[in-house]
Amino acid sequence: MSQYENYIKDFPMRCKELYEELHPTALILKKEVTFMLMVASASILIPFERLRPTNVLDPIHPSKDPIIFKKHADNLKKLLDTNINKSLLWPLDLKYWMYGDSAEMIFDPNYIGDNQLTEMSPNHKVANIFFIIRNALAHSNIYTFEDPIKYIFFVSWKKKNNIAIGTKFIRVTTDEFRIFINKWLKFLIDTEIDSFTLWEVLKQESPEELAI
């Protein structure tokens, strides 16, 4: 297997190629949701964590990819700050994207009724969807519902002053989540690479040390 050119575009492209090639086999084996979650975990978490916006509590990724792949990082920030209906993820059929929250610290999809769920608004920011999905995949807070599986629940902590006070969650159909993954991959793959080399980044940050 050849070396990855990068984890921002090349890695997601390989995920997409594998998904398209092996999805028919997963359908035959009746493991399509498992396969989709495998692809989603890798193709969301790895590029996102390397590009994600930073703050005092969440420093830049050690790879410096937000600087090296500045165009991708800038586009990601714009995407997260955009209303769903004005983003490249649109159209999503939001009647299949339901949102809820609870003061309970334990989550069981069998006890979540439709009266506890609200249809996602097209005016919600993409970040409202994305961070719940990201947190759920990163912390193993995913739940499936019905047999055969029809819905996936993605669950994240609801916090106040950085202390968990309950949960917030999204319920989405497997078909709609598949559309979401494809659009996310398209976003990464279609953005042109306009990168600095790591040497150029280091040179900008500490030119005196590198000159020695």
Mean pLDDT of the 31-60 span: 87
- 70 part of a folded domain: yes
- 203 part of a folded domain: no
- 207 part of a folded domain: no
Q: What is the pLDDT of residue 110?
A: 76
Report percent pLDDT > 70 for the chain.
89
Q: What is the pLDDT of residue 194?
A: 65
Say whether 125 sits in a helix, a strand or coil: strand
- 125 part of a folded domain: yes
pLDDT bucket at 79, cuts 50 / 70 / 90: very high
pLDDT bucket at 28, cuts 50 / 70 / 90: very high
Mean pLDDT of the 176-204 span: 76
- 198 part of a folded domain: no
- 25 part of a folded domain: yes
Average pLDDT, the chain: 85
Closest by CA position to 53, among listed 68, 83, 74, 69? 74
Q: What is the pLDDT of residue 112?
A: 80
Say whether 151 sits in a helix, a strand or coil: strand
State pLDDT tens for residues 90-123. 878 888 999 988 888 888 877 787 778 888 888 8
* Tokens found for residue 51: 């590009």
Q: How far apart are CA 206 and CA 193, in angstroms?
A: 24
- 200 part of a folded domain: no
Closest by CA position to 186, among listed 12, 65, 6, 11? 12
- 39 part of a folded domain: yes
Counting the structural domains of the chain, the total is 1
Q: How far apart are CA 20 and CA 17, in angstroms?
A: 5
Q: How far apart are CA 155 and CA 131, in angstroms?
A: 10
Question: Count of H helices and E strands in the chain?
Answer: 8, 5
Q: What is the pLDDT of residue 132?
A: 94
Report H helices in 119-212.
Answer: 126-138, 174-190, 198-205, 207-211
Domain boundaries, position 171: 10-192
Other CB atoms within 10 Å distance of the CB of residue 9: 20
Say whether 58 sits in a helix, a strand or coil: strand
